[in-house]
Amino acid sequence: MQPRLIVNTGDGKGKSTAAFGVGLRAWSQGWSVGVFQFIKTSSWPTGEKLAFQTLGGVHARTGQGGPVEWVNYGEGRTATRAGARADQRGLAERGWQQVRERLADQRHDVLILDEFCHVLAKGWLDVDEVVETLLNRPGHQHVVITGRNAPQKLIDAADLVTEMRKVKHPFDKGEKGQAGIEW
């Protein structure tokens, strides 16, 4: 079994949802699943989070499937834009520090770093250090990274890269996102 570094990038839909679909497969294998969600706030619980927490609860109660850890590093509702940016950078740094610890501890079988490409594209972390840490992770940990604008160094390091390309999107016609589909 090869531990995989998987990247879902591009301007289309499905980068995060595809990662969560892989998380379902991992859960069913009885694997430990960690979701580390950058940018997205925890104050707005998404459907995917509720579903994974439910599956983690099933594991805790019955032993079926695997355990689930889900952490968000995206708040930043401060008074000023500059303050929000500083918060986001700080949260991203804290998040990556926690992911590094999880990788070192081999806590999970699959780690999903949601919107992490966005964090790297913003320049909030040292891409070389991130790629080196990912490439040198111990054991058999699969890592799935999502977000637009994946840096080339991450693409070069990855085993599997998919670009989700927008062919047609209802937002282009002015429609709005809706519960149950977009979150």
Q: Does 54 bind a copy of itself (CB under 8 A)?
A: yes
For tokens 């790629």, name the residue.
131
Per CB under 8 A, which region of 6-14, 72-80, 82-90, 118-126 contacts a copy of itself? Answer: 6-14
Q: Does 136 bind a copy of itself (CB under 8 A)?
A: no
Is there a contact between 169 and 132 (Cβ–Cβ < 8 Å)? Answer: no
* H-helix or E-strand spanning residue 94: helix 81-105
* H-helix or E-strand spanning residue 130: helix 127-135
Beta strands 33-38 and 110-114, pairing class: parallel
Q: Contact letters (x/-) for a copy of itself, 21-40, by CB under 8 A?
A: xx-xxxxxx-x---------
Q: Which residues bind a copy of itself (CB under 8 A)?
A: 1-2, 4, 6, 8-10, 12-22, 24-29, 31, 46-48, 50-52, 54-55, 58, 64-65, 109-110, 142, 155, 158-170, 175, 178-183
